[in-house]
Homo-oligomer: A and B are copies of this chain.
Amino acid sequence: MDGQSLIAAASAVGAGLAMIAGIGAGIGQGYAAGKGAEAVGKQPEAQGVITRTMLLGAAVAETTGIYGLVIALILLFANPLLG
């Protein structure tokens, strides 16, 4: 077994591990969705502004999941560790 294969194998595991970051965004955005639905139920006439605030916050919560995705894609498609 050569060293390059070991690095590539570890990169595949690393890419999978990086995706675990998505747990946080999933929980957080779901919480935002629940609170948004609750608020719209209380003030249906404010639906536009509630939805806008919910989506703005969810977009921020998405960032760390996207960081994980970017690292996974780098490990797979532009791996600087492979010579």
Seen from chain A, the residues whose Cβ lies within 8 Å of a Cβ on chain B are 1-44, 46-47, 49-51, 53-58, 60-69, 71-77, 79-82
Contact = CB atoms under 8 A, between A and B. Distances in A.
A36 B72 CA distance: 31
A47 B50 CA distance: 9
Pick from A4, A5, A29, A63 the residue with the most CB of B within 10 Å.
A29
Contacts of A2: 1, 3, 5
Contact of A16 (B4, B36, B37, B71): B71
A44 to B, nearest CB: 5
A76 B16 CA distance: 12
Contacts of A23: 20-21, 23-24, 26, 64
